[in-house]
Amino acid sequence: MAKRKSKKVDGAANITDGCNPELVDGARFDGILEIPIIEKPEKLMVPSGMVPFSKMDRIEDPRRFAVCEYELDVEFADLLRDPDKYVKELRRYQAFVTPDASLYWDMPLAAQIVNKYRNHAVGHYMQSKGIYTIPNVRWGDERTYTCGFLPEPLAFLGVEKHSIVSIGSYGVVKTHDEKRHFRAGLEAMLEWLEPEVVLVYGSTPDDVFGEYWKYSEFVRYPDWTSYQRRDEEQAQPEETLRKPGREG
């Protein structure tokens, strides 16, 4: 699959005032839907731990954590409404994972597109403020990770190839249907983006991840509840599955 060439949009000429145009000032956009691009960092950095946005105040050493939003949308709604309010706080952390506003499998495609745009608009804004930003990749139903409905997979727009990405499996790989959708989206992501590193917030069941770990370096982090239950003093990833032949 070939990724549509990204293009530069001056200012926010094509964005209405209702979409917070200041968030995408200076951004490059990807695809016919013009999703803001999260630029590939010069150096790939793997966070020591992950903490949900709503639990930031429980962390004693922010320099060891990436802030993520793998939780109910209401928990990080303030971040989506007023991201500038949190820039100073987020600069204290090791990294920032772009928001995870929901892309449910039974959600209308228009709503999935809007949430994808919002996730990247906030991510671009944080990156423009000098915060190390990692794109969260979230797919919904097959319309978002295949070219059968749109000319490009919505889920992967705005994410550069051969970089670092983050995905959330927490709460979405329980049933047979959930695993089927997640596995199909994971396979499409690995084929389309060819990421060097994949951060995983949540479990990595063998019947979902088992045949794919060799295509990238997967780093697994416990969800917040599991992390607290383990009562660790430091936030270390649960497990790193390294791509064969990679050093480190």
- CA 66: distance to chain centroid? 12
Q: Is residue 4 part of a domain?
A: no
Find the domain containing 53 and state its range: 14-241
For the entire predicted model, the pTM comes to: 0.86
Q: Is residue 2 part of a domain?
A: no
Q: Is residue 154 part of a domain?
A: yes
Q: Is residue 5 part of a domain?
A: no
How many distinct structural domains can be found in the chain?
Answer: 1
Task: With a cut of 50, say whether residue 5 has pLDDT above it.
Answer: no
Q: What is the pLDDT of residues 219-248, one digit of tens each?
A: 999 998 888 776 544 445 555 554 544 433
Q: Is residue 119 part of a domain?
A: yes
Task: With a cut of 90, say whether residue 102 has pLDDT above it.
Answer: no
Q: Is residue 20 part of a domain?
A: yes
Q: What are phi and psi of 137, to 5 degrees?
A: -110, 115
For range 134-144, the mean pLDDT: 93
Q: Is residue 115 part of a domain?
A: yes
Q: Is residue 177 part of a domain?
A: yes
Q: What is the pLDDT of residue 26?
A: 96
